Structure 1
Amino acid sequence: MVEIAIHNLTIEAENGSQLSNVDMTLQSPNVAAFCSDDPLFGETLFALLRKRGQPTSGTIQINGQPLKTLRHPEKIIGMLDDLKIKDHWLIQKAIRQAQKSSDHSIDDEQAELILKQFALDGQHSIGSLSLDQKITLRIILLLVKQPNVILLDHATDQLAPRHARAVWQLLRSYAQKTDALILMTSSNMTTMMSCADDIYYFSRGYLTSTRHLHPRTGVDCVITVFGTGFPIETAQRLGAHILEEAPEETRFLYAGNIQAILPLLEQSTITDVRIEDATVEDELMTY
């Protein structure tokens, strides 16, 4: 098991990002997502975990050892930035380089099985790959090194949804099988809710809420109801969180089974209903 304990952490980073009095303990196996109104949140926190910055105050411990005394955090904490690959390389060479850079990397057979899951051939050049394939390969190379902790800052945001789901299925399997801890950020709320075990909500640098996601939690949506007569109190009992309310328009975040709320939307005085995926901004208005 790996544990990261953060106590009373405060930082005002050069990039303008800040964290204030943060306390949290992260344990493997787990995928933890950070939902923040600061697009540089991941960059700031992950830099601290790799000793690329200094907090204003507070402490970080990894497996009980103060981070500041850990000589080579990169040996247990992996980031995509660690990987140096070139377009003219064959995929096979990139795999070899990843194996050489780690004392406990996976073997050739295991690496080949992962490549096959994504229709990647070790004899193909990296330059011939599509953007989705290049992003996927970089994540695979990180897994080849088998770090105890993986930091992914908006790593899959550019992937097509179907491709992102496959990559996260691989990452979640890795976390469970190797007892690893994966920390992630994303601008896509659906990705975070589909992939994470826990979500940590941050607003203006403060940790405002922690939410454990059960396997059947599903993905939050935002429902906008036009017209009158919508039974708000009943909806709230079913899991609705009101975001905006006007005389003939009600907008709310819904975290339950969508089938349960549908009968409430069938009032004759309701003229229209719009259902959309929840955004980071919607979530931070609630949690």
Structure 2
Amino acid sequence: MHDGSGLIAVQNLTKQFGSVTAVQNLSFTVSPGSVTGFLGPNGAGKTTTLRMLLGLVKPTSGTATINGRPFHQLGRPGRVVGAVLEAQGFHPNRTARNHLRVYASAIGVPDAQADQVLGLVGLSTAAGRNVGGFSLGMKQRMAVATALLGDPQVLVLDEPANGLDPEGIAWLRNFLQSFARMGRTVLISSHLLAEVEQTVDQVVIVSRGQTMYYGPLEHLRQQQQRRVFVQPSDVGALATALREAGVQALEQLPDGRLAVSGVDAKQVADTALRAGVSVYGIQEEQADLEQIFFRLTSGQFAGHAPAPYQQQQGGWA
């Protein structure tokens, strides 16, 4: 482990390309010890933000720092941060080991690191094979191996699950979580929440270059109003009893069930019992994160984005 916290801080970050604002006043932090998902639809400004963080694009205003410094002030950046921005260009006739040794010498680490990182990504048996013959999934693993050469404290991956088969995705999930548990920082971008939902602990959701939500994934789940579907013997009597108990969000469905928002199944069943109404069926609807994600990023989200970021008014039409 290296000294330094591994903290990523993005503050009021803005990038304009001519008249196009790719990133607008974006702020979030990524702490060590967790996997953070940087999520948003294609064109939301994710890659531009990562490129600014990695010193490849100059911000119009605001800052993106690692350990309190912009990338170009990190001294030996390969030892601090490892990044995979797109499936790297590999020389097809170079073996996996030789490819990694070229990179190792470029960042000043011993040749032996090449074999070590091949082991970490499960490619030891392919070390002597030419990269040109690798599958897309193996190339993704090679890209991760390249990012790991300097034993970095921060790992930044842009769409890492692209082209991975289910086994590869399971491997990536386990790898990133164990990497984070060592007290390191992991930031991964994706345009699909479902793809990284099992992997990430924290999420930063962006749309049109702005932060729509930033915080634990669990809080996002809890923010959503649960709905309970109940099949009572007397819909009118149960609806009245629920309203008297202070529950206003009721909807009678065509199939005779009642949809109740903002309470759990136990509360609905207890209210029915007190009102002398029989319950023939009761079911709780879990928040569908994909749906939440879609609402947050399509500008149709009617509620409030959870703290610490409230959705800004205007500009979402």
TM, length-normalised to structure 1 = 0.70
- Give the alignment partner of residue 233 of structure 1, picking from 232, 255, 260: 260
Retained in 2: the 8 A contact 1:5–1:26?
A: yes
**Aligned residues, how many?**
249
Retained in 1: the 8 A contact 2:11–2:27?
A: yes
Cα distance in structure 2, aligned partners of 1:85 and 1:233 = 56
For 1:216-269, what per-residue CA distance to the aligned partner results, in whole angstroms no more than 9, with x for missing partners? x8xx9xx9x9854454334x4359xxxxxxxxxxxxxxxxxxxxxx9427xxxx
Cα distance in structure 2, aligned partners of 1:207 and 1:70 = 27
Deviation at 1:66, TM superposition (A): 4.8
Q: Give the counterpart letter for 1:102 in structure 2.
A: I
Match in the other structure for 2:113: 107
Give 1 or 2: higher strand fraction: 1
Superposed, which structure 2 residues align to 1:26-41 within 5 Å?
A: 26-39=30-43, 41=45
Cα distance in structure 1, aligned partners of 2:168 and 2:73 = 39
Match in the other structure for 1:278: 290
- Give the alignment partner of residue 186 of structure 2, picking from 182, 188, 204: 182
- Secondary structure in structure 1 of the residue aligned to 2:126: coil
RMSD: 3.7
Q: Which of 11-20 and 126-135 deviates more?
A: 11-20
Superposed, which structure 2 residues align to 1:1-287 within 5 Å?
A: 1-13=5-17, 16=20, 18-39=22-43, 41-66=45-70, 69-70=73-74, 73=77, 75-80=79-84, 85-103=90-108, 107=113, 110-115=116-121, 117=122, 120-177=125-182, 179-213=183-217, 227-234=254-261, 236-238=262-264, 263-264=282-283, 278=290, 280-282=293-295, 284=297, 285=301
- Secondary structure in structure 1 of the residue aligned to 2:198: helix
Cα distance in structure 2, aligned partners of 1:146 and 1:167 = 17
Deviation at 1:64, TM superposition (A): 2.6
Retained in 1: the 8 A contact 2:137–2:164?
A: yes
| Higher-Rg member (1/2) | 2
Retained in 2: the 8 A contact 1:78–1:151?
A: yes
Q: Give the counterpart letter for 1:281 in structure 2.
A: F
Retained in 1: the 8 A contact 2:11–2:25?
A: yes
Q: Give the counterpart letter for 1:233 in structure 2.
A: V
Change in Cα spacing, 1:15 to 1:66, as seen in structure 2 (3 Å) is same
Retained in 1: the 8 A contact 2:203–2:216?
A: yes
For 1:147-169, what per-residue CA distance to the aligned partner results, in whole angstroms no more than 9, with x for missing partners? 22222111212212332121221
Cα distance in structure 2, aligned partners of 1:227 and 1:159 = 43
Retained in 1: the 8 A contact 2:90–2:132?
A: no
Deviation at 1:129, TM superposition (A): 1.7
Change in Cα spacing, 1:119 to 1:72, as seen in structure 2 (3 Å) is closer
Cα distance in structure 2, aligned partners of 1:172 and 1:13 = 35
TM, length-normalised to structure 2 = 0.65
Change in Cα spacing, 1:198 to 1:72, as seen in structure 2 (3 Å) is same
Q: Give the counterpart letter for 1:232 in structure 2.
A: A
Unaligned runs of 5+ in 2: 230-252, 266-280, 306-317
For 1:102-154, what per-residue CA distance to the aligned partner results, in whole angstroms no more than 9, with x for missing partners? 34577366335335x35742122212222222222221222233222222111
